[in-house]
Structure formats: C-alpha cells, structure tokens
C-alpha cells in the first residue's frame, strides 16, 4: 500500500467503528456527521480492499480483516497521540525506559524504594542505571543525553544543568561490637589511633575525616581504601578496622545480621545533601518531570 497522502483521520474512523459497531455513534465519537462517517467507511473499504464492517442485527460487525487491523491501528493512534501531546503522561500504561546516572550511595538508598513504587504505579516502566564516580561524569552524561537524570552530590546550578535537593545525610561510624575505639571513655585520640577503612570512589587516601582530625593535630592510618562501600560491612565485621560512612548506609549494615555496631563519630562532621540533576532541555518533558517527582517522594521516605 502506498501511504503517500494517506489521511490519518481514516484510522480514527476505523477505530471508532470498531469500538461502536454503529456508523452514527462512531461519528459522534470523533465529531463527524453520519454522511461523513459513511464516506470514511467507503474510503476505508477501498483502501484495504475489504468490506471491513458488515451490517448485522447486532450492528456493524467487523470482518476477519478488520479484526486483524484493530489492535495495530489502536496502538498506532495511541503512539501518535502520545507524541503529539507530550504533556500527557500516564505512568500506568507507559512502557519507556529511564536512564538514571547514580552513585553507589543513591542506588543503595533509593533503588529498592523506587522499584517498589514503580511495580505498583508504573509496572511497564524500566530503569537503566549508569554508574558515576563524580559530579563531572554525571554532568557529561546529562550533556550527552545518555542519562535523563543524575543523582549524587549537587553541582553548581548553571544555564543548562538544574538541580533539586533530595535529602540530608549525616555520617556514622561502624565497627565490630566491642571495638576499643568506641568503648566507654574512649577519646578522639583512640579513634584516630585505630586502623581505618576509607570508601573513596575517586581513590583518594584522605577525606573529610582526615581534614577534621588535622584541625585537632591528629592523623589516622587508612589501612584499606575501597572504591565502593558494599564490601565494607564484610571487612568491618571480620577485622578491627573502623569505617565512617553515610548514616543510612550504616543503619542498613547494622540490620544485616553481620555483627556490626553503629557509633556517633567522635569528631564533628557536617551534613551533606543528595541532589537530583537534569539538563534544562528536559525541564518540560512530562515523563522526566513525573520521574523527578516520584524520586523526590521516595527520597523523602528513605
């Protein structure tokens, strides 16, 4: 079939006829008179070389050829409507894939909650995660369009990268139960004297803890540096190492049954913000806005 000059309104007419089984009601459904609807049916019959709908006591009944066409035409119309009306987004029927750049912390804290919500509210929506190790890499993924959202540490708001805070986080220390660095009467000097595990995606050998200890004239030994924190609880449970990690992560580790105790750091450490970032070109994209709001709701309950 040559579709050059094809009138898409004929597909609307077909869809209405299939749904109503009646020429007049089908016309009312899409705003056409009975004569215009009859003309559309005549053109459809010529186009597909088939009667398509035949009169019967129960109304205009579809032929086998019409039944074959019904679902593909309905799907095509739904796709066209969704494309032409981008502000409309129905998560219950959406079947798209969202690519989100996430660091280990955001994936650990948010993904289980996010997927639980999606399974109920948007069962056909899939998520693809791109791992990131820093702000610059997240921005590159947004700039290139490889990710529609990024979650991690905030970057400075710019003309093209927008940001939204998701949650505030503290630090906690984890160690095996009974570790002397956290015994009654233990001092910040005892904490500094312990051997430490440092989680550093960038591979640094120093962190905020080291800077705060330096202000007190102290330094610690980092016996093990890791690029991700997921192996940390297993190491901590079997050694005398101490780790300072995000509090939500520490609480999850303590509930794992590995035998890990959570302690307040003996030095002052500032709170930090987990943020969501996106490119300005996606600021008015309805599906992206929906996912932003869902992630924000999930973060508020994390």
Q: What is the mean pLDDT of the chain?
A: 89
| Full strand arrangement of the beta sheet holding 97-102 | 126-131, 97-102, 149-152, 272-279, 161-169
Torsion angles phi and psi, residue 49, rounded to 5 = 55, 50
Query: Mean pLDDT highest for which of 86-90, 203-207, 269-273?
Result: 269-273
Please name which of 124, 149, 125 lies closest in space to residue 139, comparing C-alpha atoms.
149
State which H helix or E strand residue 253 sits in.
helix 247-254
Amino acid 9: pLDDT:
87
The reply to whether 9-84 and 97-169+273-300 are identical in fold is no
User: Do residues 44 and 14 make contact, with C-beta atoms less than 8 angstroms apart?
Assistant: yes
Q: Are strands 242-246 and 171-175 parallel, antiparallel or unpaired?
A: antiparallel
For residue 100, is pLDDT > 80? yes
Tell me the mean pLDDT in the region 199-203: 79
Amino acid 222: pLDDT:
95
Distance between CA atoms of 143 and 147, rounded to whole angstroms?
8
Distance between CA atoms of 250 and 245, rounded to whole angstroms?
6
Amino acid 296: pLDDT:
96
Distance between CA atoms of 160 and 145, rounded to whole angstroms?
12
- The number of beta carbons lying within 10 Å of the beta carbon of residue 4 is 5
User: Do residues 135 and 277 make contact, with C-beta atoms less than 8 angstroms apart?
Assistant: no
Tell me the mean pLDDT in the region 106-134: 92
Distance between CA atoms of 148 and 47, rounded to whole angstroms?
42
Q: Strands of 3-94 (E only): list them.
A: 53-56, 59-62
pLDDT-derived band at 168 (thresholds 50, 70, 90) equals: very high
Tell me the mean pLDDT in the region 240-252: 96
For residue 4, is pLDDT > 60? no
Q: Are strands 272-279 and 242-246 parallel, antiparallel or unpaired?
A: unpaired
Enumerate the domain spans of the chain.
Answer: 9-84, 97-169+273-300, 171-269
pLDDT-derived band at 59 (thresholds 50, 70, 90) equals: confident
Reported as a single tens digit per residue, the pLDDT across 25-51 is 888 888 888 899 899 999 999 888 999
Amino acid 77: pLDDT:
84
Distance between CA atoms of 202 and 227, rounded to whole angstroms?
7
Distance between CA atoms of 147 and 144, rounded to whole angstroms?
8
User: Do residues 45 and 17 make contact, with C-beta atoms less than 8 angstroms apart?
Assistant: no
The percentage of residues in the chain with a pLDDT greater than 90, rounded to a whole number, is 58
Amino acid 8: pLDDT:
80
Distance between CA atoms of 205 and 198, rounded to whole angstroms?
8
CATH topology of domain 97-169+273-300: D-Maltodextrin-Binding Protein; domain 2 (3.40.190)
Return the CATH number of the domain spanning residue range 9-84. Answer: 1.10.10.10
User: Distances from the Cα of 100 to the Cαs of 32, 94, 127, 168, 277, in angstroms?
Assistant: 45, 17, 7, 20, 10
Amino acid 32: pLDDT:
87
Q: pTM, whole model, 2 decimals?
A: 0.69
- The number of beta carbons lying within 10 Å of the beta carbon of residue 101 is 24
Higher pLDDT, 204 or 125: 125
Return the CATH number of the domain spanning residue range 171-269. Answer: 3.40.190.10
Amino acid 240: pLDDT:
95
User: Do residues 142 and 150 make contact, with C-beta atoms less than 8 angstroms apart?
Assistant: yes
Distance between CA atoms of 204 and 217, rounded to whole angstroms?
20
């Amino acid at each position: 079939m040559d579709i050059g000059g094809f009138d898409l309104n004929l597909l609307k007419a077909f869809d209405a006829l299939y749904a109503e089984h009646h020429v007049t009601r089908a016309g009312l459904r899409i705003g056409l008179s009975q004569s215009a609807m009859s003309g559309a049916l005549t053109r459809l019959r010529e186009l597909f070389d088939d009667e398509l709908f035949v009169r019967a006591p129960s109304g205009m009944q579809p032929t086998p050829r019409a039944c074959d066409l019904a679902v593909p035409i309905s799907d095509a119309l739904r796709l066209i409507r969704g494309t032409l009306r981008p502000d409309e987004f129905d998560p219950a029927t959406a079947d798209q894939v969202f690519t989100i750049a996430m660091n280990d912390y955001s994936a650990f804290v948010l993904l289980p909650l996010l997927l639980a919500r999606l399974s109920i509210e948007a069962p056909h929506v899939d998520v693809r995660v791109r791992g990131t190790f820093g702000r610059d890499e997240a921005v590159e993924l947004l700039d290139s369009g490889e990710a529609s959202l990024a979650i991690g540490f905030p970057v400075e708001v710019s003309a093209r990268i927008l940001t939204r805070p998701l949650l505030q986080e503290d630090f906690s220390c984890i160690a095996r139960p009974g570790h002397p660095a956290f015994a009654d009467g233990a001092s910040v000097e005892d904490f500094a004297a312990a051997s430490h595990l440092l989680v550093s995606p960038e591979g640094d050998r120093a962190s905020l803890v080291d800077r705060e200890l330096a202000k007190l004239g102290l330094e610690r030994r980092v016996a093990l540096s890791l690029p991700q924190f997921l192996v940390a609880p297993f190491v901590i449970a079997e050694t005398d190492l101490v780790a300072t990690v995000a509090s939500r992560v520490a609480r999850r580790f303590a509930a794992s049954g590995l035998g890990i105790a959570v302690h307040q750091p003996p030095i002052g450490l500032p709170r930090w913000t987990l943020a969501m970032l996106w490119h300005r070109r996606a600021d008015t994209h309805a599906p992206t806005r929906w996912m932003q709001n869902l992630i924000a709701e999930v973060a508020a309950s994390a």
